A and B are shown apart, each in its own frame.
Chain A
Amino acid sequence: MTITIDWKNIENQIVLLALTIFRGYAEEAIKDFKEFRKQTEGDLKAWLEDLRLGNITSQNFKDLVSGQRGLLELKALEKVGLANIALDKFTEGVIQILIATVESIQIQ
């Protein structure tokens, strides 16, 4: 009895899966941080303008800046979480590839 397993095909599929998931994750993370930076720049301008007009106090301004640092910490945690999700997605993909392989095994 001979069992034929196409290991090369499994390897190719796993590499492709890894490239798709992790490259997608990296691109999304960079895009998200760029958007956050742009948003923060806009917010800072608005806070400074309100400070100049006396609509907020200097303490309020400091608290808003501290809050933004807190948001950045939340963003960093989110990125860790999204990296974990990408990893789990990869794991799930590998399982699917292996299941498909088992189903297609030819016994001669």
Chain B
Amino acid sequence: MHYKTFFSLIFLLITSCATISIFDQKAYENVVACKVDTLVLMSKATESYTVYKKELEELNKELDKAYEYDKNRRLNIITIQMWDKLRDPNSQLLGGFLKEWSENDHLLKRYVAHKQNQIGQGFDIIIQLESNKLR
């Protein structure tokens, strides 16, 4: 086999074996914006849920958009699984918190503060994975 053909074959073989999506600026910006908007709205959870229903719908729309964008990226299953965990209404992360707020009308101040910290860390994990991806 000619040496150039040999190396070309190795090159082709290796390049077809990527295991995870590359960095995406838009996805990164989406998740950062979601984090900021989520934490701002969470701080209102000491007040009645009914007052912020419209803002919550807007936030869910923003989260849906970020999720859909990530869902359509190739080799991006891990980020999607992260979003699923964060938003699951039966988990005690963002999905569970929003459900809890709607069911209890309002929540205790210190609890909200602790949850903001916890859910903020959840977003940070998604952000860090994205920012570590190859460019």
Residues in A lying within 8 Å of B, measured CB to CB: 3, 5, 39, 43, 46-47, 50, 55-57, 60, 63-64, 66-71, 73-75, 77-78, 80-82, 84-85, 87-89, 91-92, 94-95, 98-99, 101-102, 105
Residues of A close to B93: CB separation below 8 A: 67, 70-71, 74
Contact with A along B43-84 (1 / 0, CB 8 A): 000000000000000000000000000000000001101100
The 6 tightest CB contacts between A and B, nearest first, are A66-B92, A67-B92, A84-B20, A55-B110, A84-B19, A81-B78
Q: A81-B78, A84-B19, A102-B7 are in contact. Are A63 and B96 (CB under 8 A)?
A: yes
Complex: how many Å from CA A94 to CA B93?
40
Residues in B lying within 8 Å of A, measured CB to CB: 3-4, 7, 10-11, 14-15, 17-20, 78-79, 81-82, 85-86, 91-93, 96, 100, 107-111, 114-115, 117-119, 121-122, 125-126, 128-129, 132-134
Q: Chain B CB within 10 Å — which of A64, A78, A89 has the most?
A: A78
**Chain A contact surface mostly:** helix
Complex: how many Å from CA A105 to CA B79?
42
Residues of B close to A71: CB separation below 8 A: 93, 118, 121-122, 125
A60 close to B108 (CB less than 8 A): yes
Candidates B11, B117, B134; contact of A89 at CB < 8 Å: B134
